[in-house]
Amino acid sequence: MIKGLYEAHLPVKNLEKSIEFYGKLGLKFAWRDEDTAFFWIEEGKSWLGLWEGKEYQTPYHPSLRHIAFRVTFEGLKEAVQWLESIQVEPVPFGKRSSIEPFVRPNQGNASIYFNDPDGNSLELMCFVKVPNELKHITEKLSLEDFENLVSSKLT
């Protein structure tokens, strides 16, 4: 029945500033009205709605004000440089101090985090092929540590 995500929404303080920011991320502008703008995440498949209003003051929680954009593993490896090239600063996730992308072997994914101008949490995320003998690892590993571990298991 469910085929994918159709839309997600975030609250913003200043629609003009947010339109500029999400355009910098490479999302294609779809349409806008007085207090709403939509961007295609995948054209014709899924989009992101930005809603101007006081709701941007809602305190962040992972279940609120968060979007994860799917990227490739190779793209994730270049994420810090790409974000910095568009003047966006990566941020550490949770209790981590590093801004570098990391792998969650037990979940089979990898991520890097950053915020939009209103403090909405944004994530670049990809699926990662994890050898069965590493799927028990629950700690978050740097990309380098993960790749070294995978290499050592394959030799």
pLDDT in tens, 119-130: 999 999 999 999
Cα(50)–Cα(30) distance, integer angstroms: 11
pLDDT of residue 155: 63
Choose, from 55, 78, 123, 147, the residue flagged as catalytic: 123
Task: State the Cα–Cα distance between residues 113 and 100, nearest whole angstrom.
Answer: 9
Q: Which domains does the chain have, with CATH numbers?
A: 1-58 (3.10.180.10), 65-155 (3.10.180)
Specify whether 123 is catalytic: yes
Rounded to two decimals, what is the model's pTM? 0.93
Residue 45 pLDDT > 90: yes
DSSP string for 108-119: TEEEEEEE-TT-
In the numeric block, the tokens 């550490």 are attached to 92
- The two tokens of residue 94 are 């949770």
